Chains A and B, each alone.
Chain A
Amino acid sequence: AQSVTQPDIHITVSEGASLELRCNYSYGATPYLFWYVQSPGQGLQLLLKYFSGDTLVQGIKGFEAEFKRSQSSFNLRKPSVHWSDAAEYFCAVGNQGGKLIFGQGTELSVKP
């Protein structure tokens, strides 16, 4: 079955600290992988995507993610978190066309 698991429901980090949000997927075909961010009451904004090629992808707002096929993972990282990064983060998997399958989300809180 196709699925995405984000093991951490809620993470709190201090401002300036590094961040890693975990994402594991189960997908029969070659996956296209995405990270989206959702601020309260807002829609989803695409942070970054992986289709093929270099397994380390750079996104907006200083985020990056690494695709590890052997671990079926696509973890999101940021070296130094800013207070404005507090939001909910969703990992998703899809293919050439059609639906995205989302994880349950990880809520990020940032301590001053």
Chain B
Amino acid sequence: NAGVMQNPRHLVRRRGQEARLRCSPMKGHSHVYWYRQLPEEGLKFMVYLQKENIIDESGMPKERFSAEFPKEGPSILRIQQVVRGDSAAYFCASSPPPTGSAKNIQYFGAGTRLSVL
């Protein structure tokens, strides 16, 4: 049973380019979360999605960032016109629906390290 898969593991972009980060949740998980980890900091929540729905985007920057989780395929975190300050590790987590004993147990991928030159 594969875990949460993120790709690419490392991504290098020049300022002004677009970055697309992909996340395939664990089998049977319909909830996806994106977090950003800046150097020397903990993880900061960005967005929470279910299939075809954004549930909570309170942590997303107002501009240039967007996320989707389509009916088919992986979740995508998209960063347009990247700037140096976007350099960070971006982690995806998935969970089953938070009901009963499953509750909110989030399982994390290995992350995508984005470097902006």
**A→B interface (CB under 8 Å):** 4, 32, 36, 41-46, 49, 51, 90, 92, 94-105
Contact = CB atoms under 8 A, between A and B. Distances in A.
Given A43-B111, A97-B98, A102 B105 contact: no
Interface of B: 4, 6, 31, 33, 35, 41-45, 48, 55-56, 58-59, 91, 93, 98, 103-111
Contact of B103 (A51, A90, A99, A102): A51
A43 B104 contact: no
A1 B25 CA distance: 30
Contact of B56 (A36, A96, A98, A105): A98
Contacts of A49: 105
B105 A98 contact: no
B55 A98 contact: yes
B42 A94 contact: no
A47 to B, nearest CB: 12
B39 to A, nearest CB: 11
A104 B93 CA distance: 18
Best-buried of B58, B103, B104 by chain A (most CB within 10 Å):
B104
A43 B110 contact: yes
A97 B53 CA distance: 15
Contacts of B48: 98-99
Contacts of A90: 42-43
